[in-house]
Amino acid sequence: MSSYAILLGRQRHVFDDLKTLMAAASPEKSGDRLAGIAADTNERRVAARYLLADIPLKTFLEEPLIPYEIDEVTRLILDGHDAAAFSPVAHMTVGQFRDWLLSYECTTGALSALAPGLTPEMVAAVSKIMRNHDLIVVAAKTSVVTGFRTTIGLKGRLSSRLQPNHPTDDPEGVAGSTLDGLTYGVGDAVIGINPAGDNLEACIRLMELFDRLRQRFDIPMQSCVLTHVTTSIKAVEAGAPLDLVFQSIAGTEAANRGFGVDLNVLREGREAALSLKRGTVGDNVMYLETGQGSALSADAHHGVDEQTIEARAYAVARHLKPLIVNTVVGFIGPEYLYDAKQIIRAGLEDHFCGKLLGVPMGVDVCYTNHAEADQDDMDNLMFLLASAGVNFLIAVPGADDVMLNYQSLSYHDIVSLRHSFGRPPAPEFEAWLYRMGLFDSEGRLAPQASSDARRLIDYRASA
C-alpha cells in the first residue's frame, strides 16, 4: 500500500493510503467527521483532490479499500468486473475520467456500455472531484430503464413512489393516503408502505389490500410492503400477492449483516418474487433502499468514508436487477449529514453514482426535525434531481410522514415537477390516469372529478 503526498506552497500534505485520501477528498460530511476521517482543514481537502485527480482508475481494481478476504461486497465488485466494458476508460486517471464524462463524446450509449466496467470506488472517486453542476449534467446523460407493470426510467418521464404510511397500518387510513395520492397521479414507480409491525400476517394483509385495489380499478402499478426480505420470502411461500421484494442494503458485508442479510438471502428473495411471474412489462422484482452513514451507524465502515460505502451498496443493488433503488438521503440524521448543504450534496452524489453504475436510481428527498433543513431546501433538491433526470421520487401526503416522523415531498411536489419539466408519469400509468379522467387533455390534474375518479375516492378498503 502506497502513501500519497503533495506540496502546496510550504505545506506538505501526506495521506497514508488510498482510503485516507478518499475520505479527505470528500465534501464536508458530519458522518466522516464523527468517524474521525474527514480532512481537518479546507486546504487539506483540496490537496487530497489534486492527488485523487492523478490516480489511475485501474488503481481501484488493484487496491481494494476493504480487503477481498473479509468482505463479500468487495468480492462481488472485483469478481464481477467487466474488463471489456472498462477498456474505453482503462487508461484514464480520475481527473481525466471526470473531463471525459463531461465531454461531448460521452453519450448516453457510451455510459450504458461502460456501466458494467465501473466499480463503486471509481465512481465515488470521480464524484469527489466533481461539482454539483457536474453531477447533474453527467447523470442527465445516463439512462437506466426497468419494468414490472410499468416502465420506469424512460427519457422524459418522472415516476414516483406513493408512500401511504400509517402508525397502526389501519386499512382505511392507509387507503385514504393511497387514494389521495392516486388522484395526483402519484404511485407509478410503486405504492410502497413501511409497515408499522414486521409480522407476516400484518404484511400479507397490506399486500392484499393493495392487490384488491389494483384489480378493482385495473391499475398498471406494483405495490410493495417494505418488510425484511425473509418476511417477504415467507409471504411468497404463504401464497400472498407479492409484487416486489424490499430490503435495506449497505456497502459492506458487516453492515448488511447488521440489516440481517447477506448476498445469498437477497438472491433468494429475488428468486422467490420471480417465481410468481407477476410482472407484465418486465421482470425487475426488487426494491432496495440505501443511505450514506448506515455502515458507520452499524460500526461497519472499515475506515472508509460514508459516500464511498454508499456507492458500494449500488454494486449490491445492480447485482439484484432491481426495479427501483433509492437513497433515503436525509433520513439518517445530522450526525451523518448535518444540514441542507450536506443533504443536497449527498442526494446528487448518490443519484450520480447509482446511475453511472447502471442502477435505476431514485431519491427520497427528505429530512428530520433535528437536521438543519426545511421544505425550501427540499424544493431545491427536488428541482436539481429533476434536472439530473432522476428515475423517481418519493411522496407522502402533505410532505409529512405521520408514521416515521420525518418530512419528504408532497404529492403536489410531484405534480409540480412533472409540469415544470414536461415529464409525465410512466406510460402505462399515464394511460390509466387519462382513462380514469384524473388527467385532463393536457396532462394536467382534471379540475372536475369524473365519475370514475369519484368511484376511486369512494373505494372502501375494508369492504
Partner 1 sequence: MSNPIDLDPFARFRAVTRARIGLGRAGDSLPIRAVLDFQLAHARARDAVHGHVDFAGMAERIGATQPVIRLKSRATDRPTYLARPDLGRRVDPAAVAGVERGDWDVAFVIADGLSAAAVEAHAEIVLSACLRRLGDLKVAPIVLGEQARVAFGDEVGEALGARIVVVLIGERPGLSVPDSLGAYLTFAPKVDRRDSERNCLSNIHADGLTHELAADKIAWLIRQALRLGLTGVDLKEDMTGTIALTSAP
**Which residues of this protein are in contact with partner 1, per CB under 8 A?**
30, 33-34, 164-167, 170, 172-177, 180, 334-335, 338, 368-370, 374-375, 396-400, 402, 405-407, 410, 412, 415-416, 419, 445, 449, 454, 457-458
Q: What's the chain's Rg over C-alpha atoms? A: 22
CA–CA dist 200, 227 (Å, integer): 9
Q: Which is nearer to partner 1, 346 or 353 (CB)?
A: 346
Q: Which is nearer to partner 1, 143 or 368 (CB)?
A: 368
Angle between helix axes 120-128 and 94-102 (nearest 10 degrees) is 80
CA–CA dist 129, 97 (Å, integer): 10
CA–CA dist 51, 305 (Å, integer): 17
C-alpha cell at 83: 474488463
At residue 54, what are phi and psi to the nearest 5 degrees? -95, 0
Residue 141 vs residues 109, 125, 368: alpha-carbon distances, Å: 9, 19, 31
CB 108 within 8 A of CB 142: yes
Q: How many CB atoms lie within 10 A of CB 295?
A: 28
Q: How far is the CB of 446 from partner 1 (least distance, A)?
A: 12
Q: How far is the CB of 427 from partner 1 (least distance, A)?
A: 21
Q: How far is the CB of 412 from partner 1 (least distance, A)?
A: 5
Q: How far is the CB of 142 from partner 1 (least distance, A)?
A: 27
Q: Which is nearer to partner 1, 156 or 447 (CB)?
A: 447
Q: How far is the CB of 166 from partner 1 (least distance, A)?
A: 6
CA–CA dist 78, 76 (Å, integer): 6
Q: Which is nearer to partner 1, 208 or 339 (CB)?
A: 339
**DSSP 8-state assignment for residue 397:** G
Q: Which is nearer to partner 1, 93 or 407 (CB)?
A: 407
Q: Which is nearer to partner 1, 88 or 173 (CB)?
A: 173
CA–CA dist 22, 28 (Å, integer): 12
Q: Which is nearer to partner 1, 165 or 308 (CB)?
A: 165
Find the largest Cα–Cα distance for the chain. 76
Q: How far is the CB of 331 from partner 1 (least distance, A)?
A: 11
Helix (H, G, I), strand (E, B) or coil at 363: strand
Q: How far is the CB of 132 from partner 1 (least distance, A)?
A: 22
